[in-house]
Amino acid sequence: MTSVQSKLLQIIRLNRNSDHVNFTIEQWEEILELAKGHYIAPFLYTKLNNLPIQVPNEISVKLKKSYFQNTGRNLAIASVFKQIAMALETQNIPLIPLKGVYLAQTLYKTLGERVIGDFDLLVPKDKLLLAFEIATQVGFTSSKPLILEEWIRTKHQLCLQVNPENKFGLEWHWHIFSPTQSHQLKVDALWDRAVPIEIAQYHMMALSHEDTVLHLANHISNHHQFLFGFRNLIDLMLFCDKHQDELDWHLIGSRARKWGIDKGAFVAIYIVRHYLGAPIPAQFLGQFKPEGFSEEHVKDALQQLFVLPGQAQSISMTRQRIQSTSGIVSKGRELVDILFPTPSRMAVRYGIDPDKTSRLQMILIRWKSLAQQALMKIRQGGGEKTAVSQILKRRQGLNRWLSS
């Protein structure tokens, strides 16, 4: 972790012990780029406004601009979300909003602080098709055909729908964990523990506090191996702070073990306690520390968290899959699966209807995509190749421990 990254964590940290953090203008510019790259610039703006830190005017102006731009965007998102919530309530479809669209309106001090990516909305599996059709009726479209059975079998959400007017994305979830992730969570239990809430005057449900902590911690860790997780890290910090008197940490630890996500969840929770000052009992860390845990896992996780999303997205998934697999036989099987994916995988990835596309056509489409990925890799500079290799090496090490 660099000195600038460390200073950014000091700013974000809850209940900071010292208000005297000195920065050069170059460091401020680097902090600004980190904040923009991780989509936390609006949050950083309000955080700095409440700290006695002298911010250079040119940095403050840019942060302020990002905050007000995001406020306008989130107001538009809230309006669209209200339409969807109203339509679902009319059809008596239970709804649990997840992550950004929920937390931006219930956890942060102002609507503009939290950048929202896509809508992530959880509905019962038997209501997925109706929910998808409702979103279509309010203006959302999809570039991929909805082959419901294939998406349910291979994913925990349906294909992305986009509102062409404002480019907001929407994903309907039937589970919070991917079927490719090893876990023991029964989704019915989430609904049984869900609590009633009201957003924009519409009634819906929210995950229980303990389930919310585990959902955020799992999304940071097991789901992405600590890439793309910086916003959720702040979500987790703030959620633990707001609900510190209500959270049952013994239940959180026991449930994480029962679900089989305890290693990754522990590292995420450890980071928000030790680096961001979240009020998490030391007893929890002592009682539920997983076997094989070391500070090296924390160090690697932090380095992954600081990888900019744009750089992480440029990494070939093909290379990730091969490097994260151990053993010659397993690597061979993975290579065959990459070169000759099943029709269901092709349907989900490329929006291909298996009933209307021959197997040969599917293979040619896949190979063309792989060739394009290889060409992009060739065009990368040497420094970028080295950085990507380091990211993959850390990911492989973390994944090996998480899955052991």
Averaged pLDDT, 77-94? 92
Write the pLDDT tens digit of every residue in 238-253: 999 999 999 999 999 9
Whether pLDDT at 354 is above 80: no
Enumerate the domain spans of the chain.
Answer: 208-309, 310-402
Instruction: Give the H or E element holding residue 388.
Output: helix 382-402
Beta strand 96-98 with 169-173 is unpaired
| pLDDT at residue 385, rounded to an integer | 61
Whether pLDDT at 149 is above 90: no
Which residues, other chains included, contact 301 with Cβ-Cβ below 8 Å and sequence gap of 6+? 221, 226, 267, 268, 271, 398
Q: Exposed, middle or buried: residue 338 (CB in 10 Å: 0-12, 13-18, 19+)?
A: middle
Which residues, other chains included, contact 34 with Cβ-Cβ below 8 Å and sequence gap of 6+? 4, 5, 8, 306, 308
Please tell me which residue, 315 or 171, carries the higher pLDDT value.
Answer: 171
Q: Which has the minimum average pLDDT: 138-152, 224-238, 269-283, 318-332?
A: 318-332
| pLDDT at residue 188, rounded to an integer | 95
Amino acid at 304: Q
Rounded CA-CA distance 192/4 in Å is 44
Phi, psi of 155 (to 5 degrees): -135, 170
Which residues, other chains included, contact 316 with Cβ-Cβ below 8 Å and sequence gap of 6+? 373, 376, 377
Q: Answer whether 262's CB lies under 8 Å from 253's CB.
A: yes
Write the pLDDT tens digit of every residue in 255-311: 999 999 999 999 999 999 999 999 999 999 999 999 999 999 999 999 999 998 877
Q: Answer whether 280's CB lies under 8 Å from 266's CB.
A: no
Whether pLDDT at 94 is above 60: yes
| pLDDT at residue 11, rounded to an integer | 92
Instruction: Give the H or E element holding residue 195.
Output: strand 195-199
Averaged pLDDT, 171-196? 91
User: Tokens in use for 197?
Assistant: 């809430």
Whether pLDDT at 180 is above 80: no
Whether pLDDT at 156 is above 70: yes
With CA atoms as reference, report the closest residue to 158 among 137, 140, 144. 144
How many residues appear in the chain?
A: 404
Averaged pLDDT, 55-77? 95
Averaged pLDDT, 211-220? 96
User: Tokens in use for 227?
Assistant: 């890439």
Rounded CA-CA distance 302/325 in Å is 23
Averaged pLDDT, 101-129? 93
pTM above 0.85, yes or no: yes
| pLDDT at residue 126, rounded to an integer | 95
Mean pLDDT of the chain: 88
